[in-house]
């Protein structure tokens, strides 16, 4: 489920960064709310007029709820295109997926339930249920067992799928794996039961050698083991609907782990870097010129986002708070609204330390984004909103607006001493909101490039 969320963010970035050309960009606005405990909330707002977008409307909305040892992510994503279908050629697809994952000692287990329905307005339909798909992995040996039961039913032309399924058996699957060069999967059992021309049931058991797969990817085996040993328990749900005019998706995720710790583990694991690079390659291929009008996108902004996320995790904690992200494209106008949770520099003694850390992060971002031709980042104006009793000065004079470049010149005066370190109970990080925040900045940079 972690990977699913990461891939979703990749899709969002690639979509919004390639929809069209900026024709009338308005300067982004940034507000920083500064608190006496050393934390800062960043509010980001951005508007663009764009053309040649290939879609009518698009949006993504993210909400976070976090506790001491868990966090929940709720996200919605939708796209409406100008395309339509003929009355005799309209096709629809709907998918519901539930997933759970948990680790007990040296055993990691994942269970998936998936229901997929595809139909048209001519009486053709295909219904698939995967209930359940179970994967159990021995972390020591990195050998896993994948078992599943698939039930199919069809009407009309969909019955051709049932006919094709009836030709499958263990030997056919083994031949397919051999042709694909997949030597790290062994077929233990594979059976097909055909009830009639409209129903089929498949039952299978596969053995997976993840150590061999890691060798193919060039991943250190101990790194892979550590990845599984740090996996938290989680539950997630996905709903997806697509038709000729667009698609809609909802995703929810609950992870039972302190997310500051989780973020550090995710962005510092080499295995995740390789997974993301692989995902980027696949998604870029999927987004090649299609009937949806989405061109091939560069994967470089996403890799840049990953680098910036790592630097963020090394320098910041997120305190107990909420944040939100809304990206909307409507009537050729792109709107971005982001409110971060309360950010604090690790071991900050005053809000000045956090502001300086934000400046350093902005410099790192400009260095990374400079390879994409971005030079304006540090010149974005920032409105400062101090908490009651807090004063923000430059050369002894209170200020209300500076640029990101000028954050190093500020001094924050607080009414009472601030703690040198947030308590464990206060450290409630929000990994995917942070990732989404970086997505917004990355998307913005691409628009600025196009504006030039």
* Over residues 229-238, mean pLDDT: 92
| Distance between CA atoms of residues 433 and 259, nearest Å | 11
* Over residues 293-319, mean pLDDT: 70
Burial 406-437 (b: 16+ CB within 10 A, else e): bbeebebebeeebeeebeeebbbbbbbbbbbb
Task: Please report which confidence band the pLDDT of residue 437 belongs to, taking 50, 70 and 90 as the band edges.
Answer: very low
Within a domain: residue 314? yes
Within a domain: residue 114? yes
Task: Please report which confidence band the pLDDT of residue 403 belongs to, taking 50, 70 and 90 as the band edges.
Answer: very high
Within a domain: residue 423? yes
In terms of domains, do 108 and 192 share one? yes
* Over residues 264-285, mean pLDDT: 61
Tally of structural domains, the chain: 2
* Cα 99 to Cα 50, 117, 159, 184, 258, distances in angstroms: 38, 18, 29, 24, 20
* Over residues 329-350, mean pLDDT: 90
Distance of CA 58 to the CA centre of its chain: 17
In terms of domains, do 111 and 249 share one? no
In terms of domains, do 309 and 449 share one? yes
Within a domain: residue 77? yes
Within a domain: residue 337? yes
Within a domain: residue 126? yes
203, 233, 263 - which closes a domain:
233
| Distance between CA atoms of residues 313 and 6, nearest Å | 16
Task: Please report which confidence band the pLDDT of residue 142 belongs to, taking 50, 70 and 90 as the band edges.
Answer: very high
Residues in the chain: 452
Q: 143-188, pLDDT tens digit by residue?
A: 999 999 999 999 998 899 999 999 999 999 999 999 988 999 999 9
In terms of domains, do 200 and 72 share one? no
Within a domain: residue 97? yes
Residue 446, judged by CB atoms within 10 A of its CB (0-12, 13-18, 19+), counts as: buried
- Mean pLDDT over each residue of the chain, to the nearest integer: 80
In terms of domains, do 157 and 72 share one? no
Within a domain: residue 156? yes
* Over residues 314-332, mean pLDDT: 87
In terms of domains, do 195 and 342 share one? no
| Distance between CA atoms of residues 409 and 411, nearest Å | 7
210, 233, 256 - which closes a domain:
233
In terms of domains, do 288 and 405 share one? yes
Q: Is the pLDDT of residue 400 over 90?
A: yes
Task: Please report which confidence band the pLDDT of residue 322 belongs to, taking 50, 70 and 90 as the band edges.
Answer: confident
Is 6 or 314 the better-scoring residue by pLDDT? 314
Q: Is the pLDDT of residue 128 over 60?
A: yes
Q: 204-225, pLDDT tens digit by residue?
A: 999 999 999 888 877 778 888 9
In terms of domains, do 371 and 444 share one? yes
Domain with 128 in it: 84-233
Q: 68-122, pLDDT tens digit by residue?
A: 888 888 999 999 888 888 777 788 999 999 999 999 999 999 999 999 999 998 8
In terms of domains, do 197 and 276 share one? no
- Beta bridge mates, 419: none
Residue 193, judged by CB atoms within 10 A of its CB (0-12, 13-18, 19+), counts as: exposed
In terms of domains, do 290 and 424 share one? yes
* DSSP code for 319: B
Only one residue has tokens 């900050």, namely 348
Q: Is the pLDDT of residue 141 over 60?
A: yes
Q: What is the pLDDT of residue 378?
A: 82
Side-chain-side CA neighbours of residue 385 (13 Å): 9
Q: Is the pLDDT of residue 386 over 90?
A: yes
Q: What is the pLDDT of residue 439?
A: 44
State the pTM of this model.
0.72
233, 254, 280 - which closes a domain:
233
In terms of domains, do 303 and 255 share one? yes
In terms of domains, do 227 and 151 share one? yes
* Cα 49 to Cα 16, 29, 285, 367, distances in angstroms: 13, 16, 28, 27
Is 394 or 373 the better-scoring residue by pLDDT? 394
Closest CA to 254 of 64, 115, 8, 12: 64
């Amino acid at each position: 489920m972690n990977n699913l969320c990461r891939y979703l963010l990749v899709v969002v970035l690639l979509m919004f960064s390639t929809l069209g050309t900026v024709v009338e960009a308005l300067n982004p606005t940034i507000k920083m709310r500064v608190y006496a405990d050393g934390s800062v909330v960043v509010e980001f707002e951005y508007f663009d007029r764009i053309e040649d977008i290939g879609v009518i409307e698009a949006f993504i909305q993210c909400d976070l709820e976090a506790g001491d040892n868990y966090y929940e992510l709720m996200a919605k994503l939708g796209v409406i295109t100008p395309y339509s279908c003929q009355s005799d050629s309209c096709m629809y697809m709907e998918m519901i997926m539930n997933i759970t994952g948990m680790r007990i000692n040296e055993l990691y287990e994942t269970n998936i339930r998936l229901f997929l329905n595809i139909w048209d307005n001519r009486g053709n339909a295909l219904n698939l249920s995967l209930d359940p798909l179970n994967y159990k992995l021995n972390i020591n040996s990195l050998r896993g067992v994948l078992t599943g039961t698939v039930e199919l039913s069809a009407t009309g032309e969909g019955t051709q799928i049932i006919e094709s399924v009836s030709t499958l058996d263990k030997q056919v699957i083994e031949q397919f794996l051999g042709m694909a060069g997949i030597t790290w999967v062994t077929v233990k059992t594979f059976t097909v039961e055909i009830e009639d021309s409209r129903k089929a049931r498949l039952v299978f058991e596969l053995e997976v050698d993840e150590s061999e797969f890691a060798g193919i990817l060039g991943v250190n085996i101990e790194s892979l083991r550590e990845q599984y040993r740090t996996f938290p328990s989680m539950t997630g749900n996905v709903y997806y609907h697509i038709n000729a005019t667009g698609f809609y998706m909802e995703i929810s995720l609950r992870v039972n782990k302190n997310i500051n710790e989780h973020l550090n583990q995710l962005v510092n694991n080499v295995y995740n870097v390789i997974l993301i690079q692989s995902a980027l390659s696949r998604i870029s291929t999927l987004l090649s010129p299609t009937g949806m009008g989405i061109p091939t996108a560069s994967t470089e902004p996403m890799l840049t986002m990953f680098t910036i996320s790592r630097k963020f995790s090394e320098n910041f904690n997120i305190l107990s708070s909420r944040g939100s992200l809304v990206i909307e494209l409507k009537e050729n106008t792109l709107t971005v609204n982001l409110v971060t949770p309360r950010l604090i520099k690790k071991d900050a003694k005053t809000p000045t330390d956090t502001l300086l850390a934000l400046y350093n992060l902005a410099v790192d971002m400009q260095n990374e984004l400079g390879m994409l031709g971005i030079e304006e980042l540090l010149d974005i104006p920032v409105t400062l909103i101090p908490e009651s009793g807090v004063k923000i000065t430059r050369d002894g004079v209170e200020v209300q607006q500076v640029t990101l470049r000028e954050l190093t010149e500020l001094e924050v005066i607080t009414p009472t001493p601030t703690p040198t370190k947030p308590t464990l109970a206060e450290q409630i990080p929000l990994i995917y909101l942070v990732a989404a925040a970086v997505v917004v900045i990355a998307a913005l940079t691409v628009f600025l490039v196009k504006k030039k």
